[in-house]
Amino acid sequence: MELTVRNWGKTKFDETVKLYTLKNDFLEVEILNYGGIIRKISFPDKNGKIENIVLNLNNITDYEERSPYFGAVVGRNAGRISNAELKIGNTAYKLNANNGKNNIHGGINNFSHKIWASKEIKGDDFVGLELTLNSCHLEEGFPGNISVAVKYILKNNELSIEYYGTTDRETYMNLTNHSYFNLSGDFKRDISDEYLKLNSDAFIAVDEATLPVKISEVKGTPFDFHEFSLLQTSLDSDDVQIKIVNNGLDHPFILNQNKKIPAAELKDDVSGRILKVFTDQPAVVIYSGNYLHEVGKLSNGSDCKKHMGICFETQDYPDILNFLPEKSKIYSPTDPYIQKTIFKFLINKN
């Protein structure tokens, strides 16, 4: 096991960006202290060829200027909050609107744009990185002085992400990682010929602003991934919910209660690579990169195309305080925010 660090440039505010590399016999993972970004995951295919399986960019300027949250920690909230308003008790907090009239991924200067404090962590059978960040009361409009820690732990063929958040007053937190996976390796193909399986009986339909409007059963729809299903079949569907998000998936799936089986599985038969996602969260937003053609060049010089990657945004229900207030979870000085997601990587050599 190895853990190395090197400087990776300066932000537009002249902050030093560090790139950490976690490595063992199974995986090599690059993480930036800017945005907590997972910049690279190198993993062999069935023939032993080691390639990168997450979308990335070439330098820190590219991440600052044109990244669609590639690999980043997003917060204080993942996804959209309608009308950029957060209601806690009898108080309504006006948030910064950065997606039309709504707040998305925590606002304008959200967690994905910040330099995090970093600390290397090691054990007998793992290497890891702990990133920490403080966010002051009413930053981006959110209540509470909060302290957040995100731990990346590489152990055998698993990369786990643990999130912790404490606050000095009642507030809401909902963090996730926004990596775009592409199991073909080094972006050789888009994701349309990969297969997806989800531990979910219901998804949340969205409106034109991608805000949640209705819980619907997946059965008989392009959102039924009870068994491994070719992504292209859903991406090419004429279903109005596929069309409304620019021909693809950008929907929350409500996860079944059994957390011992994967929330999501992705496989690529050509490379033999398999990804399994485990989480303690109630939902996962599946985003199939429906606007990735707007990004420009990827790190290897190739053009980023629509459906070039797929995100597994494990999180709380979307816009929960407005859409499902009866399920809302308010965090306080005695009730911290805790979340854990595990990405497990396998190879089918047949």
User: What is the model's pLDDT at position 172?
Assistant: 97
**What is residue 52's predicted lDDT score, i.e. its pLDDT?**
98
**pLDDT for 34 beyond 90:** yes
140 counts as catalytic: no
pLDDT at residue 257, as a whole number: 87
Average pLDDT for the chain: 97
Per-residue model confidence (pLDDT) at position 275: 98
Spell out a b/e string for 64-80, using b for 16 or more CB atoms within 10 Å of the CB, else e. Answer: beebbbbbbbbbbbbbb
pLDDT of residue 129: 98
The residue extents of the domains of the chain are: 2-347
Residue 87 confidence (pLDDT) above 90: yes
CATH topology of domain 2-347: Beta-galactosidase; Chain A, domain 5 (2.70.98)
**In a 3-state reduction of DSSP, which class is residue 225?**
coil
Q: Can you tell me the distance from the alpha carbon of 79 to that of 338, in angstroms, rounded to the nearest whole number?
A: 18
Those residues with Cβ within 8 angstroms of residue 140's Cβ, 6 or more apart along the chain or in another chain = 76, 95, 96, 103, 106, 107, 108, 109, 110
Confidence class of residue 77 from pLDDT cuts 50, 70 and 90? very high
Of 178, 194, 251, 307, the active-site residue reads 178
Reported as a single tens digit per residue, the pLDDT across 150-193 is: 999 999 999 999 999 999 999 999 999 999 999 999 999 999 99
Give SS3 for 298. Answer: coil
Active site residue 178: yes
Q: Which of 30, 51, 194, 313 is catalytic?
A: 313
Burial class (CB in 10 A: 0-12, 13-18, 19+), 12: exposed
User: Which residue has tokens 């407005």?
Assistant: 322
Residues 132-157: what's their mean pLDDT? 98
Average pLDDT estimate for 41-58: 97
Reported as a single tens digit per residue, the pLDDT across 206-251 is 999 999 999 999 999 999 999 999 999 999 999 999 999 999 999 9
